[in-house]
Chains A and B, each alone.
Chain A
Amino acid sequence: KAGVTQTPRYLIKTRGQQVTLSCSPISGHRSVSWYQQTPGQGLQFLFEYFSETQRNKGNFPGRFSGRQFSNSRSEMNVSTLELGDSALYLCASSLASGQVLQYFGPGTRLTVT
């Protein structure tokens, strides 16, 4: 069974721009969670989607948004990028909502200049 895939793997953007990241979960998994990882803050939970609905949300500003499609694929959008948004963005999939057992993708490395 194929693992979680994320595209693109690397991205360089300029302050003020917006960016969209994509995640395809493991086949049959309906929950997709997004995390931001930085050296200083570690792994921080952004939000979780299940059956096209946002189920849980972390403590991030409204510039961070996401959505999930009927095939469980998910996208994350960050608008008006700031330098501090430079991070590794990770997507994780699981069978059910709120499940601790999650399988992570390789991540998207976003650099904001």
Chain B
Amino acid sequence: DAKTTQPTSMDCAEGRAANLPCNHSTISGNEYVYWYRQIHSQGPQYIIHGLKNNETNEMASLIITEDRKSSTLILPHATLRDTAVYYCIVAPPFSGGYNKLIFGAGTRLAVHP
């Protein structure tokens, strides 16, 4: 069963905020929310992660609901270079085994002029 649910695709105007939602209703107490993105034909890029508090870095902000069942990645001022597939992953910080860091289908974000 998928641990996260994301919309298949989203559009955003350049310069506007892009808000990417993720549902993770079965998240466990020790699991973090991680966000990665992959621009076409490039390696995935780590964006941000959090446990229960909102987080912000130079790339994005992560808002996690109080019940931790959903979160939103915010790109405050989207640019054309932010066009990519965005992946939301929930996992404990250390997970051994061959199935660690599994990317689902993700959200394909298209930023247009």
Chain B contact residues, majority secondary structure: loop
Contact with B along A30-50 (1 / 0, CB 8 A): 000100000000110100000
Closest A residue to B93 by CB, please name it.
Answer: A100
* Residues of A contacting B92 in the complex (Cβ-Cβ under 8 angstroms): 100
Contact of A58 among B43, B49, B89, B98 (CB under 8 A): B98
Interface size range on B against A = 20 to 34
CB contact under 8 A between A56 and B43, given known A100-B89, A101-B34, A101-B49: no
Contact of B94 among A45, A100, A103 (CB under 8 A): A100
> A98 contacts B44, CB within 8 Å?
no
> A90 contacts B44, CB within 8 Å?
yes
Q: A residues bordering B, Cβ < 8 Å?
A: 4, 33, 42-43, 45, 55-59, 88, 90, 92, 96-107, 109
